[in-house]
């Protein structure tokens, strides 16, 4: 796994074996960030990475200039790995929280400019559908903010309010929402 652009460009991240993750492929991640480059400026924004797994998206966001990135994952090994990688790369902008994402979202917090969520593909469909609705209704996105959910092909968000785009890269699907 690697960081594509920014101040940590080309850094390789060695993910320990046995982490219960399905990292976003480099091809899908590069395609996603090419899209994001045209939709949002990274400099100085606040971002949230839900179900962060290896932290790949978080590292990329920090590398591209986000002022603050919060990575949330309930697996202790994943949270520890992200925190130790952020420390070794000297990424003070990256904060790691070990918590259940749905409980975390219930807390009062400042809105984010960008939220990325990569739930486990075996999560119940109702939970997938609940995620964008909850984020939008709780006003966790700043005005004009962007929510991206990575999901399996079987999930279709196209009829939901705030949905505006869907992209497919082999087995990886991204749905985009605006506040």
In a domain, 9, yes or no: no
| Cα 119 versus chain centre, distance | 9
Tell me if 114 sits within 8 A of 50, measured CB to CB: no
pLDDT exceeds cutoff 90 at 53: yes
Nearest to 176 by CA among 115, 104, 124: 115
In a domain, 38, yes or no: yes
In a domain, 20, yes or no: no
The pLDDT tens digits of the residues spanning 87-101 come to 999 999 999 999 999
In a domain, 14, yes or no: no
- Residue 49: HSE in the Cβ half-sphere, 13 Å Cα cutoff: 28
pLDDT at 16: 85
In a domain, 16, yes or no: no
In a domain, 143, yes or no: yes
In a domain, 66, yes or no: yes
In a domain, 27, yes or no: no
Task: Give me the DSSP letters along 24-36.
Answer: PPHHHHHHHHHHH
The pLDDT tens digits of the residues spanning 66-85 come to 999 999 999 999 999 999 99
CATH number at 44 reads: 3.40.50.150
pLDDT at 20: 82
pLDDT exceeds cutoff 80 at 23: no
- Look at the chain and report how many structural domains it folds into: 1
The pLDDT tens digits of the residues spanning 105-133 come to 999 999 999 999 999 999 999 999 999 99
Residue 86 lies in domain? 32-178
What's the chain's average pLDDT? 94
pLDDT at 170: 86
Question: For 25-50, what is the mean pLDDT?
Answer: 94
Question: For 1-21, what is the mean pLDDT?
Answer: 90
The pLDDT tens digits of the residues spanning 135-178 come to 999 999 999 999 999 999 999 999 998 999 999 998 899 999 99
């Amino acid at each position: 796994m690697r960081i594509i652009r920014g101040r940590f460009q080309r850094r390789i991240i060695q993910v320990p074996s046995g982490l219960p993750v399905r990292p976003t492929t480099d091809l899908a991640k590069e395609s996603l960030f090419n899209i994001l480059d045209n939709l949002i400026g990274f400099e100085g924004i606040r971002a949230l990475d839900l179900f962060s797994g290896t932290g790949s998206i978080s590292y990329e966001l920090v590398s591209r200039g986000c002022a603050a990135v919060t990575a949330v994952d309930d697996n202790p090994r994943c949270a520890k790995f992200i925190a130790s990688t952020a420390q070794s790369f000297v990424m003070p902008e990256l904060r790691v929280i070990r918590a259940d994402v749905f409980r975390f979202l219930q807390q009062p917090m400042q809105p984010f400019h960008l939220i990325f969520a990569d739930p486990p593909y075996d999560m119940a469909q109702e939970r997938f559908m609940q995620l964008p609705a909850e984020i939008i209704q709780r006003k966790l996105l700043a005005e004009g903010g962007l929510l991206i959910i990575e999901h399996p092909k079987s999930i279709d968000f196209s009829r939901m309010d705030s949905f505006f785009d869907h992209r497919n890269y082999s087995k990886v699907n991204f749905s985009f929402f605006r506040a």
